[in-house]
Amino acid sequence: MYCSNCGKEIQEGSSFCPFCGSKITGTEKNTADNIESKTESADTTGSSTAGSTQNTNQNTSNINSESNPDDFKRLVSAYISHDENGKIESNATRHYYVAFSKIKNQNQTVSMHWGAFWFGGWNLIYRKSFLYGFLFIGIPILFTLMMVVENGLTAFVDLAAWATCFMLADKIHYMRFATKLQEAERAYPNDISSQCKYLAHC
């Protein structure tokens, strides 16, 4: 089965495309155009995969999520919803699944995170990204308390911190998720159920 939006092959029965994040309607067909697109993307993917394996410091997962995106969806759901089975579907789990898939497969950095829009750094603290959360909250407060800049510039610093948090929150959340997922893979290799249980308590 192929995604009708980007043309890449996806697993039968998938709800969302792990490459572009489009919702799968169930009407996708193995058309000649899709097959040709698959062949072209396979050549590109082969060369990019060879280069990415050399970067051992990158926070990415080596699970079979690309061959089985439903496993990746379960892992994201377990991490976000704290459900050991990784089968809870909600607006939050759907948002993070699509966002994490784009970051993982397309190296996307900037996105819109409405939780961070309303709550700023507190959203990062809620998801246990404490360092970044305290930075986005603390720096504007520190500038205000020290009164080292004019009021107009203080407002600019506050706005810049808020906008940066809004656009980078998904990337920050993914960085922590990828780190915890690597820990789960090392502890429970090729055992998705145990990895879900591990992530549910992170």
pLDDT of res. 149: 53
60 closest CA partner among 198, 179, 196: 179
CA–CA gap between residue 46 and residue 24 (Å, rounded): 25
What pTM, to 2 d.p., does this model score? 0.61
* Successive 10-residue mean pLDDT values, the chain, 202 residues: 76 75 62 44 46 42 56 93 90 92 89 86 90 86 67 73 89 94 93 94 90
Q: What is the pLDDT of residue 96?
A: 94
The residue behind tokens 């502890």 is 187
- pLDDT at residue 194, as a whole number: 94
Main-chain dihedrals φ then ψ at residue 16, nearest 5 degrees: -135, 150
- The residues, ordered by sequence, that sit 6+ positions from 76 with a Cβ below 8 Å of its Cβ are 86, 93, 96, 97, 100, 177
